[in-house]
Amino acid sequence: MANKKPKKQSKSKAAAKKPARKAVKLAAAKKTNGNGLPKPSNRPWGQAGRALNGLRILDFTHVQSGPTCTQLLAYMGADVIKVERPGAGDITRGQLRDVPNADSLYFTMLNGSKRSITIDSKHPKGMEILNRLIKTCDVLVENFAPGALDRMGLTWEYVHKTNPRMIVASVKGFGPGPYEDCKVYENVAQCAGGSASTTGFREGPPLVTGAQIGDSGTGLHLALGIMAALYQRNRTGRGQKVLCAMQDGVLNLARVKLRDQQRLAHGPLTEYSQYGEGVPFGVAVPRAGNDSGGGQPGWIVKCKGWENDPDAYLYFITQAPVWNEICDVIGEPTWKNDPDYATPKARLPRLKQIFARIEQFTMTMTKFEAMDLFNKHDIPCGPILSMKEIAEEQSLRATGTVVEVDHPTRGKYLTVGNPIKLSDSPADVRRSPLLGEHTEEILSKVLGYSASQINEIKASGAITAPDKSKAAA
C-alpha cells in the first residue's frame, strides 16, 4: 500500500480538499448525530455493553455500607478495584464465618463482581501504587472512620491535585456537627436517624429493623451521589467530594415520621391505632407497631398455621376504594352501608375490631391462599415471607434478584443480584474475589508495572503480609 503511486488528480488541490473535509464532517455527523452525542446504537438490547463500562473505581470500602455501593456499581459494569490490607483484608472476610477457612457470606455477598488488590497504604511503595491508581481511576469510594483517609495521606487536596477529575465519595456516621468524629455501625445510625424511636410497639422499647437501612441504605444514597457527580464532571471537567452520612440516609428513609411529627402539632394522628384505642399522644411520634405508614390503615393478621409457623401471617390493607369488596369477601356485607363502617373516617376508631374480624377470616386459609383470594378482588395485601421462602422463590431467581454463584473455597452460595433492572445493561453478578486475587493482574495490566518492577514491589513488603516468623526472630 505505502509504495503505490498516487493517482493523478484531475481537480486542483484546493478543490480536491473540499469534498474530503465534507466527508470527514459527514462521517462525524453519522457517528455523533451532529450534536456531539453518539447516535442511538443499533445493536440488540442488552448487547451494547453495560451501563458503567469504562468507569474505574478505587474501592477503599470495608464492612457493609461502602461495599454495598461499590458492588452495585460493579453489577452495572464498573471496574471496581478493592484495596485491602495485605494478610488481613476487609474484616468481614472472617466475621460470622460458616465454612472454615473460607470467606464469610458477610463478605462474599457484599463484594461480588469486584477485583481485589492488596496494598499496605502505610508503606512508601504502597503509596506509590496508590498514586498510580488515583491517576487511573474515576472515583475513590471509602467508609473509613473519620480522619483515617487523611492519616494515610490521601486528603481531598492531595487526591484532587493528583487527579483533578477524581470523585471522592465517603460514607460517615454523622455529617459535620457534634458527632462528626464518631465511628458508627448500622444500629447506631438507625437510632440516630429516627428509625428506632418510631419502630416497635408502643408498650415496648425502641426497635431496630432487620433491613440494613443505615448501611445498605446509605450505600445506595452514595451510589446516586457518585452518578450525579460523574454527570456534573462531564460539564465541569473536575471531580468533587460526595458525602453521605448514615444518620442523614436513615432520616431520608424515615421522612414520613418527620412528617407525622409536624402533624402532631395539629392534633392526634388518627390513622395510628393508638387513636382508636383512646390512648393520648405525647410530644413525639410514637411507635406504631404494624400500623400502615400512610393513610390506608393496615395491620398484620394471622393465617392458618400461625400456631407453629412464626411467619404464617399476612399484611392486610383496608384500602378505601375496595372497602365494599373487603366487606363482601370477609362476609360482612352490611358494613358497606353501616354508618359506623362505611367511610374511612368512621372506621378509624374501630380499626382494632375490623382487623380482628379480618383475622378471623384469614385464619381459615394459608397466607398464600389469602393472597390469591384478596388479589382477585384487587385488595392490597402481602404474605409475610421468611428468608427460607425468599431463598427458594423461583421468580426471584428468574429475574436475577437472587443469584447463585460459585466460589473456589466456599462452593455455591446465594447472593442478592442487582435490584435495579436496566433494559440495555444486564447485571454482571459474579463471585467475590479472594484476598489479593488480582494484585498482579492490576499491577501489570492496569498500572503498567513490568515483571521486574512487580518482583521489586513484592520484595518491598508493600503488597504482602508481614512475615511473622521474621518478626518473631
**Interaction site with ligand CAO (CB under 6 A):** 63-66, 83-85, 119-122, 143-145, 148, 151-152, 171-173, 183-186, 215
Helix, strand, or coil (residue 234): helix
Give the shortest CB-356-to-ligand CAO separation in angstroms: 40
Is the Cβ–Cβ distance between 232 and 167 less than 8 Å?
no
Any bridge partners for residue 298, and if so which?
317
CA distances from 280 to 92, 202, 264, 347, 427 (A): 45, 12, 11, 18, 50
Distance between CA atoms of 152 and 131, rounded to whole angstroms? 12
Q: Which three cell numbers stand for residue 126?
A: 504502597
Which residues have a Cβ under 8 Å from the Cβ of 309 and sit 6 or more positions away?
Answer: none
Distance between CA atoms of 247 and 32, rounded to whole angstroms? 44
Distance between CA atoms of 135 and 158, rounded to whole angstroms? 12
- Among candidate residues 90, 120, 138, 215, the one labeled active-site is 215
Closer to ligand CAO by Cβ: residue 154 or 358 = 154
Closer to ligand CAO by Cβ: residue 74 or 130 = 130
Give the shortest CB-255-to-ligand CAO separation in angstroms: 21
CA distances from 48 to 41, 52, 53, 308 (A): 7, 11, 10, 51
Closer to ligand CAO by Cβ: residue 196 or 269 = 196
Ordered DSSP codes for 324-377 = HHHHHHHT-GGGGT-TTTSSHHHHGGGHHHHHHHHHHHHTTS-HHHHHHHHHHT
Give the shortest CB-310-to-ligand CAO separation in angstroms: 26
∠ at Cα 280 (274, 284), nearest 5°? 90
Closer to ligand CAO by Cβ: residue 144 or 272 = 144
Chain position whose Cβ is nearest to ligand CAO: 145
Distance between CA atoms of 457 and 436, rounded to whole angstroms? 14
Closer to ligand CAO by Cβ: residue 83 or 317 = 83
Closer to ligand CAO by Cβ: residue 66 or 383 = 66
Give the shortest CB-75-to-ligand CAO separation in angstroms: 19
Give the shortest CB-435-to-ligand CAO separation in angstroms: 11
* Sign of the dihedral through C-alpha 27, 32, 38, 44: negative
Give the shortest CB-338-to-ligand CAO separation in angstroms: 51
Is the Cβ–Cβ distance between 89 and 68 less than 8 Å?
no
Closer to ligand CAO by Cβ: residue 38 or 210 = 210
Give all strands (DSSP E) within 174-309, no chain letters. Answer: 241-245, 298-302
Give the shortest CB-112-to-ligand CAO separation in angstroms: 17
98 is catalytic: no
Give the shortest CB-303-to-ligand CAO separation in angstroms: 34
Is the Cβ–Cβ distance between 64 and 219 less than 8 Å?
yes
* Sign of the dihedral through C-alpha 218, 222, 223, 227: positive
Backbone angles phi, psi at 305, to 5 degrees: 95, 5
Closer to ligand CAO by Cβ: residue 186 or 260 = 186
Active site residues: 215
